[in-house]
Amino acid sequence: MTDMAPGAPILSVRHISKQFPGVKALDDISLEFRPGEIHALAGENGAGKSTFIKVLGGIITPDQGQMELAGQPYAPSGPNDAIARGVRVVHQEFNLLRHLSVAENLLFERLPRKLGILVDKAEMRRRARDLLNLVGLSQLDPSTPISSLGIAQQQLVEIARALSDDARVLILDEPTATLTPRETDRLFEIVHRLKDQGTSVLFISHHLDEIFAHCDRVTVFRNGKLVATQKTAEIDTDGLVRQMVGREVIHAPIARNVDRSATPALSVSGFQTAINARRPDIAFDLYPGEILGIAGLVGSGRSEVLRAIFGADRPARGRISRNGQPVAIQSPRDALRQGICLVTENRKEEGLILPMSIAVNTTLATVRNISSGGLLDRGKERGIAGQMMRSLDTRMASLQQAVGSLSGGNQQKVVLGKWLLRDPQILMLDEPTRGIDIGAKAEIYTLLRQLADQGVGILVVSSEVPELLGLADRVLVMSRGVIAGELAHQDMSEEAILQLAYAEYAKEQVTRG
């Protein structure tokens, strides 16, 4: 490692620019990162943050500009070169090999060998366990296939893999988006320990409370430009938001006039999923024009309920009614016929076809409306998709742009637009604003309230308790596969939700005691 003068930056970028067709993603960025510092990068989706960290990680080559690492020229030829030189990126999109085990993913670049040829599986498992312990996954068997893990566990495995590299610069892109509060606390313990050891941590997050609680400095990007770099102690939340969006974010008032004397738009009773196999007692009503939130810890069964209603996963038992009439939903096609749509938590794998265009993805669920005689009318496709994307204020170069090249917030708008074209009567959303900036969140909240005002029943699963408090008319709280309680709007609070979320776990502790 090169000797560095005290106070010298570990990583410097000067006049970095990057142009994509129709978009200047980075515009003359100059910035320094210091050893032993947690440096936040904030900005709306599409501001240039993801492009910037891909440049640092060797995934994208800038059009102009220079970088230095520990005082030496730094121009990585690819991600492996960046890792070898001490720069590791944990991306929002996981880079795990789903067909391999946890241990194989953790140590893929440096599998321990016997006799220089054979993989030493015992040593591999031992090292994997040590890494899993660091991120609070001590109970996870290292031989478990990655494909069987939930999103939150995959995120922690990704972080554990990064810790194995002894990086000088660790870049974390939305690392807490899928984590529970307890997992998030564990992650920040690790981050602060790395800071104390001299690691430079670049932290990208839309959670402003995390930025102010844990970061020393924050840099704001907007429209590909660097707006400001400042100590977090020298700016407040309102000031940071103004820098990020260039305007005041207006939060629309929440309507409270849900008519619960009406026939429920959706009724669920006697539901049993794999998570609550002990007793089939999931039951609730959703009324026209109501936004019903579902809270709970990751793994509590929230997503399983939505998927079962949509017919993506069949429940072991249970009944569903629409407008007071029993319906049989055996598949997503059945759900769509009943006017039920689902925005899944994993938009990249289940909501979009990433290599295909925005126009194609937007009209995927309404192909019949743009077809005649078995042939697609591309003009009609562009017209319908364009109108929807304009109504959602989607930032894009053109409708023919691959949807995979959009920011997370704009990808989510494409998913929403796809389902809105079906004129849903029941719209279910699983973590709808995960990885989305504060401006796009406000736009989505406004859209959901407008839909509710039009009589659409909306069911929202979210791990962000403040989001549910600000959006939902009622909240159901799940714990270990069952509904632990229901909170009317006047009874909703962060404390009340968390108490119910841990209720079944507390009962189990009492039973064991």
Q: Above 90 in pLDDT, residue 165? A: no
Model confidence pLDDT, tens digit, residues 442-479: 888 999 999 999 999 999 999 888 889 889 999 999 98
Position 1 scores a pLDDT of: 42
Fill in the DSSP letter of residue 350. Answer: I
Strand partners, 226: 221
| Domains in the chain, CATH or no CATH each | 11-245 (3.40.50.300), 266-339+424-512 (3.40.50.300)
Position 459 scores a pLDDT of: 98
Model confidence pLDDT, tens digit, residues 247-291: 655 454 454 578 888 999 999 998 877 666 556 678 999 999 999
Position 509 scores a pLDDT of: 43
Q: Which helix (H) or strand (E) holds 189?
A: helix 181-196
Model confidence pLDDT, tens digit, residues 287-332: 999 999 999 877 788 988 999 999 988 766 789 999 999 999 999 9
Strands (E), 112-224: 113-114, 118-119, 169-173, 200-204, 217-222
Q: What is the Cα–Cα distance from 33 to 38, expressed in whole angstroms?
A: 9
Q: What is the Cα–Cα distance from 97 to 208, expressed in whole angstroms?
A: 31
Q: What is the Cα–Cα distance from 24 to 392, expressed in whole angstroms?
A: 22
Q: CA quadruple 417, 422, 424, 428: dihedral positive or negative?
A: negative
**Per residue in 70-90, is it b (16+ CB within 10 Å) or e — as a string?**
beeebebeebeebbebbbbbb
Closest to 97 (Cα-Cα) out of 89, 105, 86: 105
Report if pTM > 0.75: no
Position 254 scores a pLDDT of: 57
- Decide: helix, strand or coil at residue 22: coil
Residue-wise DSSP of 365-387: GGGGGGEETTEE-HHHHHHHHHH
Residue-wise DSSP of 426-446: EEEEESTTTT--HHHHHHHHH
Q: Rounded to a whole number, what is the distance in angstroms from the first to the last CA of the chain?
A: 52
Model confidence pLDDT, tens digit, residues 86-128: 999 988 777 788 889 999 988 877 777 877 778 788 888 999 9
